[in-house]
C-alpha cells in the first residue's frame, strides 16, 4: 500500500485540460447536431436560433473547445494545489495499491 502525498500541479493541469478539451468537442458536436435537427431545435428560443447563423456556428465550434481546454487546465491546477496543501494535511494522502 502506497500513499500519494503530492500531485504534480502542472501534470494534473495538462491531463485535466486534455479531458476537458475532448469533452467540450463532444459537447460542441452535440450542440451543433441539436441546432440542425428541427425536432430538437424547437426547444430553443427562436430569437437565439436566429442569431446562430453560419459565422456564429463556426465561432461556437472553435470557442467552446478552447474555453474547455483553458477551464480544464485551471481546474486541474486548482485541484492539485488544494490536494497538495489541504487534503494531504487533513487526511494524510490517498492510499494507492499498485500491482506489478
Give the pLDDT score at 73: 98
Candidates 1, 4, 17; CA nearest to 91 is: 4
d(CA 54, CA 45): 17
Give the pLDDT score at 55: 85
Q: Over its length of 100 residues, how does the chain's per-residue pLDDT go in tens digits?
A: 888 889 999 999 999 999 999 999 999 999 888 777 777 677 777 777 777 777 888 898 899 999 999 999 999 999 999 999 999 999 989 998 888 8
* Residue 96: DSSP 8-state: E
d(CA 77, CA 56): 31
**Residue ranges of the domains in the chain?**
2-96
* Residue 94: DSSP 8-state: E
Give the pLDDT score at 100: 83
Give the pLDDT score at 42: 74
Give the pLDDT score at 69: 97
Candidates 79, 86, 94; CA nearest to 17 is: 79
Give the angle subtended at the CA of 24 by the CAs of 6 and 36, to the nearest 5°: 170
For residue 76 the three cell numbers come to 486541474
Give the pLDDT score at 89: 93
Taking the CB of residue 57, how many other CB atoms lie within 10 A of it? 15
- Which residue matches cell numbers 442569431? 51
Amino acid at each position: 500500500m502506497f500513499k500519494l502525498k503530492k500531485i504534480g500541479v502542472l501534470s494534473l493541469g495538462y491531463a485535466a485540460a486534455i479531458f476537458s478539451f475532448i469533452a467540450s468537442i463532444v459537447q460542441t458536436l452535440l450542440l451543433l447536431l441539436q441546432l440542425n435537427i428541427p425536432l430538437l431545435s424547437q426547444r430553443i428560443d427562436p430569437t437565439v436560433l436566429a442569431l446562430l447563423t453560419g459565422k456564429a456556428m463556426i465561432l461556437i465550434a472553435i470557442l467552446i473547445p478552447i474555453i474547455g481546454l483553458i477551464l480544464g487546465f485551471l481546474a486541474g491546477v486548482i485541484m492539485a494545489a488544494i490536494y497538495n496543501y489541504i487534503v494531504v494535511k487533513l487526511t494524510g494522502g490517498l492510499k494507492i495499491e499498485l500491482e506489478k
